[in-house]
Amino acid sequence: MKMWAGRFSKEVDDRVNDFNSSIRFDCRMYEQDIKGSLAHAAMLAAQGIIPQEDADAIAAGLEGVLADLKSGALVFDPGAEDIHMFVEAELTKRIGGAGKRLHTARSRNDQVALDLRLTLREEAKEIKALLLALISELRDRAAEHLDTVMPGYTHLQRAQPVTFAHHLAAYANMFLRDVGRVSDAAGRMEFCPLGSGALAGTTYPIDRQRTAAALGFTAPTANSLDGVSDRDFCIELANAIAVIMMHLSRFSEEIVAWCSWEFKFIELDDAFATGSSIMPQKKNPDVAELVRGKTGRVYGDLMTLLTMMKGLPLAYNKDMQEDKEAVFDAVDTVKLCLKTFTPMLHTMTVLKENMRAAAAKGFINATDCADYLTKKGVPFRDAYKITGGLVAECIRRGLTLETLPLEDYRAASGAFAEDVYGAINLETCVKGRLSEGGPSPDAVEKQLALIAKFLEEN
Ligand code: ARG
């Protein structure tokens, strides 16, 4: 019989039981559920709402249930309605009458809101740690490649020279903002909904400050209706995760491209690539592709949460049970991706010569050629046009700006002199981009120092 069977004259249909049950996915919150109950029971006794000896029996019983679940001596009953009912029923089975006092002045509505916050608070910490490890890896690899010239792209067309360090530091900055977003979402989980009751608080003289403090929260939530029905924190965390996945997916796309023979900028370690069942020559960047693919599923999780909450009246509605699978899937997916992505970066080989060769081919020093003329007094728009003509000439004759003879330069503009070759040299072009945030080794070193500072502070 159900714990709430009092007003019912029939057993619940088996199909409804299965349909209704959430133990399959909320069982992962067992430790948080038990910790919440321990704090609640201690508060009830301190406030004189239940006898101290009952609270002691509850505490001992709950510790036993926790230990047995951890060791595997106790397994979840798939027929249970949810983790909250399962723990309470098991407790009462073990300690009898006192167990029945645990749920005084509490509802599953404030209980589940609490458990989910406690769970996601921990998950946010883990995600943050994984992001920091990724940023640290990016920083280390970037430090090795301050002088590794590669083409920078816009529209996937070779545009201007950058370095591999500059490129990696760009991603480090994205993940750094992601740490901020995860921390921000976690910050709003720091309020304890316990004591909101089903929706309207309780007539018992509970002490919400005490339970909030005991569970490590900043304060109790301010409004009981909001306390039980707020799932913003799930949505915010899923949103932060979706943005992390979007960044990982962009990076993955580049890794897939860089692994192709068309680019060959990097080679993945054999341990982080896979082969084909039919084509013996293949080495596939499956990890990057899967990360890119899983991004779609995490976007789906976020959309599930937003849509599930849309139009829900106050306060708790059973729809909200659907929050867990979505947010847990987002959490598990991003952790899995980060755990695999970082070592993939750590073990990849950077093919510097290929990057340099690609940079030499795409006229990516054309802007520098125009800037050279501008510095000699030619207005930029004229310089731009003259350089465009020279590029067209090079293409016609199969030359590059580096190999175009000086007389051709001089025929286009008298402002050109021998020193143009120094000005359009790729290394010069990169080193000259000293502007803050730019690709010159000095500028990137400063960016890496900021990243290192962030890592120290987080
Ligand atoms: N399993 C439920 C959930 O995840 C717990 C809360 C149920 N409350 C209720 N009144 N039915 O949301």
Please state which of the ranges 182-186, 241-245, 429-433 shows the lowest mean pLDDT.
429-433
- Taking all residues of the chain, what is their mean pLDDT, rounded to a whole number? 96
Helix (H) or strand (E) holding 349: strand 349-350
Residue that terminates a domain, selected from 332, 357, 382: 357
Residue 310 domain flag: yes
Helix (H) or strand (E) holding 219: strand 219-220
Same domain, 268 and 307: yes
Residue 324 domain flag: yes
pTM for the structure as a whole:
0.95
Which residue matches tokens 């030619």? Answer: 378
Best residue among 28, 112, 116 to mutate for probing ligand 1's pocket (most ligand atoms within 8 Å of CB) is 112
pLDDT of 10-66, one tens digit each? 888 999 999 999 999 999 999 999 999 999 999 999 999 999 999 999 999 999 999
pLDDT of residue 279 exceeding 90, the answer is: no
Same domain, 128 and 276: yes
Instruction: DSSP letter for 357, please.
Output: H
Ligand 1 geometric centre to CA of 190 (Å): 21
pLDDT of 131-187, one tens digit each? 999 999 999 999 999 999 999 999 999 999 999 999 999 999 999 999 999 999 999
Average pLDDT over every residue of 3-14: 84
Best residue among 109, 120, 234, 319 to mutate for probing ligand 1's pocket (most ligand atoms within 8 Å of CB) is 109
Task: Classify 279 as helix, strand or coil.
Answer: coil
Range of the domain at 81: 10-106
One-letter identity of residue 40 = H
Same domain, 237 and 250: yes
Residue that terminates a domain, selected from 330, 357, 384: 357
Ligand 1 geometric centre to CA of 61 (Å): 23
Residue 26 domain flag: yes
CATH number of the domain encompassing residue 312: 1.20.200.10
Task: Classify 346 as helix, strand or coil.
Answer: helix
Residue 111 in contact with ligand 1 by CB distance below 6 A: no
Average pLDDT over every residue of 102-116: 98
Which residues on neighbouring strands pair with residue 150, listed in sequence order? 162
Residue 106 in contact with ligand 1 by CB distance below 6 A: no
Does the predicted interface ipTM exceed a cut of 0.90? yes
pLDDT of residue 5 exceeding 80, the answer is: no
Q: Which atom of ligand 1 is nearest to the CA of 83?
A: 1
pLDDT in the model for residue 10: 87
CATH number of the domain encompassing residue 80: 1.10.275.10
Q: How many beta carbons lie within 10 A of that of residue 169, not counting itself?
A: 29
Ligand 1 geometric centre to CA of 112 (Å): 7
